[in-house]
Amino acid sequence: MPTVLWAFGFLFFFQLFTLYVESIYRLSLTKLSMGPEMYGVFFILAPLLVLLLGRHGARFLSRIAIAGILFTRCLAPYLGARAQIVNSGIGVACFLVLFCYVLSSSNRFSRPDWASAIVLAVLGSVILRSSIWSTFDLSLDPAGFAGATAVFAVLIVLARSALKVSASPDASVPEPNVNVDSGAFATAISSVLVLFPSLVLLYLIATSPGVVSAWSGCNYSVVIVLATLSWMAAACVAAHVSVGRGMLAFWNVLFLTSLLAGIFANRVAFPATPDAPALIVAGDAWWQHIPLYVMLLLSPVLAFNAARVLERPCASVRLSAAAVLIGGLLLLLLPILLVFSNVWAYVQPVSGMLRNKFYLPFLLAGVLILIGLAFSGARTSPGASRVRAVWVRGAAAVLGIVFLAWFGFNRTVLARVPSVEKSGAIDRLRVMTYNYQQGSELNGDQCYLTQMRLIARINPDILFLQESDTPRPSGGNVDSPRLFADALGYYLYFGPKTVTNTFGTAILSRFPLENPRTIFTYSDTDEVGTSMAEIEAGGRRIALFDNHPGGSDAVMHAHADALVSEAKGHKHVIAAGDFNFQQTTPYYAKVTAVLQDSWLVLRPDAVGTPETILGGNASDSERFNMSDRIDHVFATKTFKPTEAQYILTPESKTDHPLYWCELLYQ
């Protein structure tokens, strides 16, 4: 029973920490600056309380921490971003406080098989994120969470008896068979350098392995199957085998090498000057995927890293609290470093140092783990409950087999097949462009499912998404383009890979996407990656371009020149996106010299009507005047716009207008 409860504990921690980091970022994103939400980082300092109190009040604080984790997890699906920072921050703080006692030799918790508990937690996360919504945790949606509340209620009852805290918390005698290091300081260092970087990598990769597909273009189904099989195998190893330090270090080296090889295989060298030619990155070579597939198979090493530390407690509560305090800072710093590599231009004065450094937090975490292993003891103890946790092998096998059977059924029989809901020959297309701000509403709340319902209402044939690169901590490790494509029945080209650190330009289509590629142009603020693909529809071969340039005049000219150059090579072209330029700019003039503006064809004065402009809070005279719009759909004159509509904020569920139009073949 302790193993089961700690499995839930780790699962709740990963979920709460995901919400914690994501919510802080989303509120900063809506203002394009850091604000009061940054005070949320102080929750990481909760171990200071234990550091001050030592063993005094251990029993009371432990009970409060357990209750806090359960309460905040139950509350999490129902909160917006501002409240979520507080709620998930408290949950993370409670987990860190609890760990201060767990890592202490004076703790009297019933000890689980730590490796098995983490294995079950990761398997649970993979299942929740892959069984219904692609990479979106079902239990973090209010509707999906409702069915789990009964389970949580049972856990609260079980926690009192299974997570026993000694009536004499000041006692310093450890449980039998628990290996207490004589080198307490070395053990504390090992706790910091091995445990917390391992938790970070579990959070970034293992708990949502689907993000690896967006990192590199790997096949999503293969990624999920490999990840599930690897953690099922880990359950068998955890139940029977104690991994020595040498073997563990070698395993970590292989894991880190394959991870970095996979990242570097998908890295690009951006054009260095405005005059440099555009870099066109086409389809992936098969070998580019192998390192990350290997990494997924090796990823259970992270559970064994953490278990090695947890089975070797520190000598005192204060020493363990100091270790957790430093480890908590690492827990926050490494994911934020990954976020900063994406928004590098906005984090002066270290901007240039972080550009194109997607690999950096993974490299640092891996190196810290290897250094920490050098401070750990030569051998590990299997722990008092290792024998009792043999049943985990069967539990993991059943969970994995049932999930894989359902996953295969869901991805084949139940999958929505892309189809065009038109009778007769195709003679027009409904095109939509949507900068959905990484799934954020104006107030910073995450709203992937709300935005998905809005897309379904418009029902476009071609959907151009911007700021779509959400498979990273700032987006809750959710591959939202895949979520939309799988749920609504679209073919998907994700666009620039996550490792390139653009903000994302994804193309979704009812028609198969052929020759997908990304055009990288010069950038000095945000990386500029323009997605391109081709479709066959109604007897026409149509080139699609999804755009989101941003930066100086040189950046905007470089993008416009590359777009025009590529568009001239095709008879039928649709170019859409958040262009970040208005109709009075020279970049607009360059594009419209080749392509027509669908809105101006219908509204030459750029002024809409109540039928063509929905939503918005301004007066009608201001609301209908769209001369300052930056979200466009351009097309060759082989298309005739027949209908167009802007949906303004807040009805668009983001900070940009949603724009769609009908393009008639001519």
pLDDT band at 386 (very low <50, low <70, confident <90, very high): very low
Q: What is the pLDDT of residue 155?
A: 46
Q: What is the pLDDT of residue 368?
A: 97
Contact status, residue 568 vs residue 594, Cβ threshold 8 Å: yes
Residue of 236, 248, 229 whose CA lies nearest to 378: 248
Residue 226 φ/ψ, nearest 5 degrees: -60, -45
**Residue bearing the bigger pLDDT, 385 or 632:** 632
pLDDT digits (tens, 9 = 90+) for 622-654: 889 999 999 999 999 999 999 999 999 999 999
Domain 2-127+137-168+178-268+286-410 = CATH 1.10.287: no
The CATH code of domain 428-665 reads 3.60.10.10
pTM of the model: 0.91
Is it the case that residue 71 has pLDDT exceeding 60?
Answer: yes
For residue 464, list its beta bridge partners: 433, 507
Range list for CATH 3.60.10.10 in the chain: 428-665
Is it the case that residue 96 has pLDDT exceeding 90?
Answer: yes
pLDDT digits (tens, 9 = 90+) for 222-243: 999 999 999 999 988 776 667 8
Q: What is the pLDDT of residue 172?
A: 38
The region of weakest confidence among 320-334, 340-354, 476-490, 498-512 is 340-354
Q: Which amino acid is at 157?
A: V
Cα(401)–Cα(220) distance, integer angstroms = 18
Cα(501)–Cα(360) distance, integer angstroms = 12
Q: What is the pLDDT of residue 648?
A: 96
**Residue bearing the bigger pLDDT, 509 or 235:** 509
Assigned token pair, 530: 């323009």
DSSP state of 610: T
pLDDT band at 73 (very low <50, low <70, confident <90, very high): very high
> Left if phi > 0, otherwise alpha if psi is -120 to 50, otherwise beta: which for 31?
alpha
Is it the case that residue 27 has pLDDT exceeding 90?
Answer: no
Range list for CATH 1.20.1250 in the chain: 2-127+137-168+178-268+286-410
Residue in this structure with the two tokens 């939309």, named with its chain if needed? 484
Residue in this structure with the two tokens 């049972």, named with its chain if needed? 154
Contacts of 509 by beta carbon, 8 Å cutoff, 6+ apart: 418, 461, 462, 463, 490, 491, 493, 533, 535, 544
Alpha helix segments (H runs only) across 163-244 = 184-190, 196-201, 211-216, 220-240
Q: What is the pLDDT of residue 180?
A: 45
